[in-house]
Amino acid sequence: MNNIQTIHETGTVAAKKAVSDYLAEWTAKTGGNQYGEPIYCGFAWVEVEVTRTNSKQAKELSSVGFKKSYKPRIMQLWNPANHCGQSMDCIIAGANAYANVLQQNGIAAYASSRAD
């Protein structure tokens, strides 16, 4: 397994690319709109279950921006693509791509979302 910083950087690049690809495809299919993204607002994040939120793994995840969730034994990273829009569709694309990179590196992760 790569170190968490390398995994995070790879995940962030994948998340940003996923958002960019999603927007390009969406614009090609729909012609876009005045906002430049779908108007379904919401949030998306990546969750990783840890044994304890003060475990070695949790501390490594914290070092790249993960925070403790309100749920026990869960670390979260919101909007891993750092997308500045409000479109939940875009942010989900980034969260899924980031979670996939973590999974490819042996970290059980998944994307979650919530409409605004």
Q: How far apart are CA 42 and CA 35, in angstroms?
A: 15
Q: How does pLDDT run along the chain (116 residues), one tens digit per residue? A: 579 999 999 999 999 999 999 999 999 999 999 999 999 999 999 999 999 999 999 999 999 999 999 999 999 999 999 999 999 999 999 999 999 999 999 999 999 999 98
pTM comes to 0.95
Give the bridge partners for 114, in sequence order: 43
CA–CA distance, 58 with 49 (Å, rounded to integer): 9
**DSSP H helical ranges for the chain:** 4-30, 56-63, 88-104
